[in-house]
Amino acid sequence: MNAPQRRGATASAGPASGPGAVQQAATDDAPSAPMYVLYGTKRSGSAIAEIGLDWCGAPYRVVQASSWEDDSAQDALRQLNPLMQIPTLQTPSGDVLTESAAILMHLGLRFPQAGLLGHSEAMRDQILRGLVFIAANCYSQITIIDFPERFTTSASPADREAVKAGATQRLHLHWEMFADQFPGRPWLSGDQPGALDAMAVIVSRWSGSRAHLQQHRPEFFAVLQRIEALPIVAAVFKRHWG
């Protein structure tokens, strides 16, 4: 099992700076203090939580854990989240948060100065709407694509491929709908990048969604590329995908 890694910023950005400005990393010499504990692994949805935590400047450590890595902290993850889904986040007070959208909502409320949920009630409402849209209509399809055997009683490889193909088609259609409703002007979260940008830029990486969007929604594809180029997002991408 890999040792936990400490990450996060020592200070968060002020309201005028926005989350993209949080770049100061914590050091190993910093005084010990209660921090978030993130259970996750590379190339997974835990990257969403890392972007949110880094944008907020929240100190955290990462514990490598997933349902598919036998040498990871599976027992600890199972105790916190019986579904063994990642990301799973334990707060400094010991509370447990699951679901990427819920984690981003928590961070936005806990660190309002970072602006993850926008700086107006109207913008916050749209960000919350978008987070739930991605979780319910896009992320859910990826689960079916990755594990088609869970969604059919048939043991036939052809039947399972049909389930996977149908889910992929729905996923790409849902991304088209999302792009039409959240065009990103200039960012998906409004006048500065925020929670919705963090979730969209990661979930859109999987199951051919980026290639589909490049062809069918090129302007939205360009927005995702701009999000990916933000310093903190780029750093998370490098950690996860090299």
DSSP 109-175: HH-GGG-TT-SSHHHHHHHHHHHHHIIIIIIHHHHHHH-GGGG-S---HHHHHHHHHHHHHHHHHHH
CA 154, CA 162: separation in Å to the nearest integer? 11
* DSSP-derived secondary structure letter, 201: H
Number of domains within the chain = 2
Predicted confidence at residue 11, as pLDDT, reads 32
Range of the domain at 214: 121-241
CA 107, CA 105: separation in Å to the nearest integer? 5
- pTM reported for the whole predicted model: 0.88
At which of 114, 133, 164 does a domain end?
114
At which of 79, 114, 149 does a domain end?
114
At which of 65, 84, 114 does a domain end?
114
Task: Tell me: do 62 and 150 sit in the same domain.
Answer: no
Give pLDDT tens digits for 174-187: 999 999 999 988 99
Which CATH number belongs to the domain containing residue 190 in this structure? 1.20.1050.10
Give Cβ neighbours of residue 52 (< 8 Å, ≥ 6 apart). Answer: 103, 104, 107, 108, 116, 195, 198
Closest CA to 127 of 19, 6, 236: 19
Task: Tell me: do 222 and 135 sit in the same domain.
Answer: yes
Task: Tell me: do 130 and 37 sit in the same domain.
Answer: no
Task: Tell me: do 103 and 160 sit in the same domain.
Answer: no
* DSSP-derived secondary structure letter, 4: P
- pLDDT digit of tens for each residue in the chain (242 aa)? 554 666 664 333 333 345 544 333 333 444 567 899 999 999 999 999 999 999 999 999 999 999 999 999 999 999 999 999 999 999 999 999 999 999 999 999 999 999 999 999 999 999 999 999 999 999 999 999 999 999 999 999 999 999 999 999 999 999 999 999 999 889 999 999 999 999 999 999 999 999 999 999 999 999 999 999 999 999 999 999 99
CA 117, CA 187: separation in Å to the nearest integer? 12
Predicted confidence at residue 19, as pLDDT, reads 54
Which CATH number belongs to the domain containing residue 101 in this structure? 3.40.30.10
Task: Tell me: do 167 and 100 sit in the same domain.
Answer: no
**Is 239 within 8 Å of 42 (Cβ atoms)?**
yes
Predicted confidence at residue 8, as pLDDT, reads 62
